[in-house]
Amino acid sequence: MIVLDKRPQPSRLWSYAAPVLAVVLTMLVGGVLFAALGKNPVAVIRTIFLDPLFSEFAWFYRPQLLIKGAPLVLIAVGLSFGFRAGIWNIGAEGQYIIGALCGAAVGLALYPAETRWIFPLMIVAGAFGGWVWAMIPGVLKVKFGTNEILVSLMLVYVAESLLAAMALGPMKNPDGMGFPGSRNLAQYPSAANLELVAGTGLHWGVVAALIAVIFAYVVLARHIFGFQVRLAGQAPRAARFAGVDPARMVLICMGLSGALAGMAGLFEVAGPAGQVTIDFNVGYGFTAIIVAFLGRLHPVGILLAGGLMALTYIGGGIAQSNLGLPAAAISLLQGMLLFFLLAVDVLTHYRVRFAARKVA
Amino acid sequence: MDLSAINPILLLASLMVAATPILLAAIGELVVERAGVLNLGVEGMMITGAVCGFIVATATGSPWLGFLGAALGGALLSLLFGLLTQFLLSNQVATGLALTLFGLGLSALMGQSYLGIRAPAFPDIHIPLLGDIPVVGPIVFQHDPMVYVGLGIVAGVWWFLNRTRGGLILRAVGENHDAAHALGYHVRRTRMLAITFGGACAGLGGAYLSLVRVPQWTEGMTAGAGWIALAIVVFASWKPGRLVLGAYLFGGVTVLQLNLQAAGVAVPVEYLSMSPYLATIAVLVIMSTGRAPGSLGRIFHAAR
């Protein structure tokens, strides 16, 4: 009979090994799945995980890695604070949309003025929009004790409706011959989030993601707030005795994750996406949850996990067009990865022992 | 705009149909939460049920077999959640989310070749005598059988939780798993059974969407219904009777906004379609006073 003994401290070895093992298991089971779909599993796995980096067209795909990875990392870093403290902001997708809408609104309102203050103003507006959207579940939780998971998630659907309303109504391009969608911000120099170095994919969102990673690392390791976040997650009772105010914790964690998700939305709408369209959001807010867990809620881990997840997006796209792999198989693969990680994580917190069955 | 075009009898009648998928998923989750497990994967199990039910129903031509297949599909997926949370002791919130993401991907993959097909018809039954009562008859007694199956399950759950020994054990496990374990009850076994029941119910709810309400398969067709079901469990303070009220309230909002859309109210469709979600938030704010089961969401690890 298999017995699990709780480790006094989480295993350091397994906390590094578990994500790697989860990725390997996902590749294996994913391979079986692709074989069942009638594809060559080795070819598919190679296409997804290696071709974006090492194939002859890698010069085209490598910049994409930064473009897809930046929003994932930016959102996941914000989420990791709340997840550590047991505050579950699941609605990053909604905050991402609202951030993009607020930022784009500023840019579109000032069109066609040209000053260099427009883009910074848009970033502030984007962060503010995401912050407001995240404060709704935050304030409701603090004031009325409502469940932040459900409220933040409901607000994703509200944000999606709002996005559709904006793309078809107030933000529609007046010169767009009636097509839905706003003016293309990427073609409006003062508002565009362009590549800083041509051909690298390095835009302001990537810079912001890197700053967020460093900032989060310093706060978690060196600042009293980081200590309080870790304390609130590991020992809520001890945290209360130590004077950590739970309400303040909820508001800061929700606000921070919302603002970062909003910024991610703004960088996307002003750069790679360019326009406010009905289907502008592609689920980064949900994938970022996987990134946060895969990265062990640690800033550096999140950076690596974001890169890996961006890889599956790009590689999945290649597999879709070259090998005819259905798009859904990629989202299944991403879900599977989180499953395996959570399963393997038992080894981090428990020691497995084989024992003879005893009479209870 | 012509509000007189809205027929109040038809409105109330379609309310019961709109509420049924939520009611089915919510009653399953209610049992799971009363056993002390928070399964946030309802959305994933629902959509898997929707696609499984649709595939079986179109293959066999029988909606009943479709519902059976949906319940099996939902239950199988929930076993995955059970394995992770009960045996590998993973975080229930994270695992539930993983289940939803996984279910959305899985269902999209399974349903690829079923897009744009109509489900086999599932005729309404006309209950003799009762169905002929004016006004009340068309509202309550002229629906498809699943509407009544859903209400039957709710009544059964109420009876089980409040009137049987098994229900008492389940509630004990949910209130304090350490005490229940010390008394010799099988915490894991009870919870696995509850989780499986929850999965089967969520599957039925999903299949009701793809076989009766829409009736077609489209990707992501549950559109948050699973999350609304979770909210309604909180609204109901974990009591089956109030669950019906919550589900019908929600059904009412959905049907009303659809009717307003059809009647051409001067508000854009996008704003009207927000209303079910806003109503759910409002309900959560008003009704967040109920007491959750004591061990809800906590990991059970028997040290001895």
Residues of B in contact with A350 (CB under 8 A): 89, 301
Distance of CA B50 to the CA centre of its chain: 11
Residue-wise DSSP of A127-171: HHHHHHHHHHHHHHHHHH---HHHHHHHHHHHHHHHHHHHHHTTT
Strand, helix or coil for residue A2:
strand
* Higher-scoring residue by pLDDT: A34, B68: B68
Q: Is the pLDDT of residue A238 over 60?
A: yes
pLDDT in tens, B145-187: 888 888 999 999 999 999 999 899 999 999 898 888 889 899 9
Give the pLDDT confidence score for residue A277 in this predicted structure: 82
Instruction: Tell me whether strands A2-6 and A350-354 are parallel, antiparallel or unpaired.
Output: antiparallel
Which tokens in the block code for residue B268? 């854009």
What is the average pLDDT across A110-129?
A: 86
Which of B79, B238, B288 to mutate to probe the A interface, most A CBs <10 Å?
B288
| Residues contacting B49, CB < 8 A, separation 6+ | B70, B71, B73, B74, B202, B203, B204, B205, B206, B207
pLDDT in tens, B8-18: 777 777 888 88
Separation CA B60–CA B55 (nearest Å): 9
Structural domain boundaries in chain B: 3-113+140-286
What is the average pLDDT across A219-241?
A: 87
CATH 3.30.70 fits A38-325, yes or no: no
Which of A158, A279, A313, A334 to mutate to probe the B interface, most B CBs <10 Å?
A158
Q: Give the type of residue at A7.
A: R
Nearest to B303 by CA among B200, B164, B133, B177: B177
Separation CA A71–CA A209 (nearest Å): 7
Q: Is the pLDDT of residue A272 over 70?
A: yes
Which of B93, B109, B181, B253 to mutate to probe the A interface, most A CBs <10 Å?
B109
Query: Shortest Cα distance from B266 to chain A (angstroms)?
Result: 14
**Residues B110, B116, B119, B125: is their CA dihedral positive or negative?**
positive
Query: Shortest Cα distance from B109 to chain A (angstroms)?
Result: 5
Separation CA B287–CA B284 (nearest Å): 5
What is the average pLDDT across B273-295?
A: 82
Give the pLDDT confidence score for residue B5 in this predicted structure: 63
Confidence of residue A358 (pLDDT cuts 50, 70, 90): low
What is the average pLDDT across A194-208?
A: 79
| Residue A316 and residue A330 in contact, taking contact as beta carbons nearer than 8 Å | yes
- The answer to whether A144 contacts chain B (CB < 8 Å) is yes
Chain A, nearest residue to B274 by Cα:
A158
pLDDT in tens, A148-194: 888 998 899 999 989 988 888 777 777 777 777 777 777 777 777 77
Model pTM score: 0.88
The rounded mean pLDDT for chain A is 86
| Residues contacting A248, CB < 8 A, separation 6+ | none
Please name the residues between 195 and 234 in chain A that touch chain B, using a CB distance below 8 Å: none
Note whether A168 contacts B270, CB cutoff 8 Å. Answer: yes
Facing residue for B84 by CB, picked from A88, A140, A342: A342
Facing residue for B273 by CB, picked from A146, A161, A345: A161
Query: Shortest Cα distance from A1 to chain B (angstroms)?
Result: 13
Confidence of residue B194 (pLDDT cuts 50, 70, 90): very high
- The answer to whether A162 contacts chain B (CB < 8 Å) is yes
Separation CA A126–CA A284 (nearest Å): 16
Structural domain boundaries in chain A: 38-325
Nearest to A220 by CA among A130, A288, A301, A128: A301
Q: Is the pLDDT of residue A360 over 70?
A: no
Angle, helices A148-168/A246-270, rounded to nearest 10 degrees: 30
Give the pLDDT confidence score for residue A357 in this predicted structure: 63
Give the pLDDT confidence score for residue B2 in this predicted structure: 58
pLDDT in tens, B59-90: 888 889 989 999 999 999 999 999 999 988 88
What is the biggest distance separating any 2 CA atoms in chain B, rounded to whole angstroms?
Answer: 68
What is the biggest distance separating any 2 CA atoms in chain A, rounded to whole angstroms?
Answer: 80
Nearest to A126 by CA among A96, A153, A154, A156: A96
